[in-house]
Amino acid sequence: MGGCGRIDGGPGRPIPGVRRRGAASLSGGTQLGGMGASGEGVRPRARRSGSVTTSRGEGIRRSDGPGEDDPRTNLAVGAGPELESVLVDWYRTRLGCITGLIDPSRDSHALEMQAVIEDSLDLGRRPPDESRRWLDQAHRSSAEHAAVVPDVLRSGLIRCGRRTVRTFIGKVPHRHGSVSSSSTTRVLHAIGDLRIGGAQQLVIDLAGSTRVDAPHHVLARSVGIGFRLCVPYTEEPGDRSRVRRIFDRHRPEVLHLCHYHASPATTAWYDLVARVAMERGVPIVQSHCVIGDPWLGTDEQHLVFCSEWSRLRSGTQGIPDSVINPGTPFEIFQAPRRPIPDDPVVGMVYRLDRDKIDESAAPAIACVLQEVPHARFEVVGDGPVRPDLERDLKAAGFSDRIIWHGYVPFAKLASIHRSFDVEIAPVVADVFGSGTVHAIASGTPVVGYGIAGLPELLRSEAAISTPGSPEMLGRKVGAMLRDDALHARVHATQWSHASSNFGIEGMISRYHRLFTEVAGHRTSMPSG
């Protein structure tokens, strides 16, 4: 069978409109683990010693960021770690948002920083830390100027109306039911948007696992109209005086900033909430859940990354950090592996939102269907990429073998994952991959690109394809569906690692212990 570089329903006809993404450099694309980190030229703050360990002794992987004597330290343009194309695109997009605001006659430093970033990206390397800090500050300043101050009366009426509607039509999202014995700290969780996704689930799981004497509260800029939250929350679009009153009412010992990139208004909102915490001396723990840089408004915070890959790409010298992997409720998903049937079903479960899945998923799906002619394919998830995927796969002649489910509630995910014989992860990037862990726990092995945080989850060479190579991905899926013993070995390898490292109880416990440690550091600091 010929390759899938030109995928078609007939000989040699390409999928129209699909841009082939180049393979990202990842030590050949299949090496487990991440590449080196870097930091640059910013004087490190005083280091804090100590670590947080779990009952199994495995610990939170923790660092104060690369030091000046660390060989990974980024001392010059081109010395930073090599970046995947999606990260290069992220930096270029963020730089493009502020380039027009720079006055060449008045801001020579800005021009210098812009040139440093552009030179680094031309080399495919992460920009030095000083320029990353400048870019973050410039973007936050631009967002603050563009943000519209909400009308207090109008926004209050809207919030009341939305809360009332949620009471009648909202669906209660899944919440992990156990109270953690490690919960000893009052925490305010701040998240821009409470709708659907891993960051939102993290906040709900943490806020729902607290003891009565250490309450947590969720502060969100907006809450989806279809969600009836099962944890205490306040919806506040960004009035500074109201945000201050929320801090005064709940008296948090820690602000948990669950950060992800969104609109300028959301960027300004995160900055506002963080600065109110700084005014009140409330320490910040920031969970960085997405591709790109975290909020860098202060070094007086603790960064938490989803994976070692994310920490090595986005950690910053002088800011202490940890890796706490997202947790999966195995009791919901766990199921044994099933033997391969005569008519296998391959699945993909992702938001179709271009952050992880873009149009390049179409040739990956097509290659799987071409490699395994008796297989069906099902896509779970929705988003702006879906019409392009449907169009391209229809043009390639595969539409009668594909089912599109759209969004499904969390309660149905376990049965969905169990209905697949193999799942694929043809992502352009993913800081972790909770959906992959859900699939593995459900008895379904996963084949994906060896990019970003995925190799740590996929584990087996038989399940890791060179990034940007749909042909290889299709061949690996085909090999697995033709060999039940291989299918079993791959799943056993993936499940052994996932079950030992990615349970939800461990994640919740590590976060609560980190909150307690950070709050304790605040109270132990000398006054004055």
Average pLDDT of each block of 10 consecutive residues along the chain (528 residues)? 47 39 35 34 34 38 51 56 90 89 80 94 95 94 73 59 59 67 91 77 88 89 70 89 96 94 86 97 95 94 96 95 95 96 98 92 98 98 97 97 94 96 96 96 98 95 97 98 98 98 95 95 52
**Cβ-defined contacts of 200-204 (< 8 Å, 24+):** 200/173, 201/173, 201/174, 201/410, 201/434, 202/258, 202/287, 202/289, 202/326, 203/256, 203/258, 204/173, 204/174, 204/175, 204/229, 204/230, 204/231
- Rounded to two decimals, what is the model's pTM? 0.80
Rounded distance, CA 53 to CA 513, Å? Answer: 9
Number of residues in the chain: 528
Which candidate, 316, 229, 246, places its Cα nearest to that of 280?
Answer: 246
pLDDT at 116: 95
pLDDT at 231: 83
285 φ, ψ (degrees, to nearest 5): -110, 120
CA distances (Å), origin 202, targets 318, 325, 433, 495: 26, 11, 13, 22
What is the end-to-end Cα distance of the chain in Å, rounded?
74
DSSP letter for 463, please.
G
DSSP letter for 171, please.
B
pLDDT at 181: 78
Which candidate, 328, 286, 287, 300, places its Cα nearest to that of 431?
Answer: 287
pLDDT at 377: 99
Residue 516 DSSP SS3: helix
pLDDT at 478: 98
pLDDT at 43: 30
Torsion of CA 8, 14, 18, 23, to 10 degrees: 90
Which candidate, 326, 370, 364, 351, places its Cα nearest to that of 446?
Answer: 364
Rounded distance, CA 45 to CA 32, Å? Answer: 32
Strand partners, 288: 259, 305
The domains found in the chain, sorted by start residue, are 73-142 (no CATH), 152-327+505-524 (3.40.50.2000), 330-502 (3.40.50.2000)
Burial of 249 by CB count in 10 Å (0-12 exposed, 13-18 middle, 19+ buried)?
exposed
The two three-digit tokens of residue 128, written as one number = 């030095």
CA 352 to chain centre: 14
Q: Going by C-beta distance under 8 Å and a sequence separation of 6 or more, which residues neighbour residue 134? A: 109, 110, 113
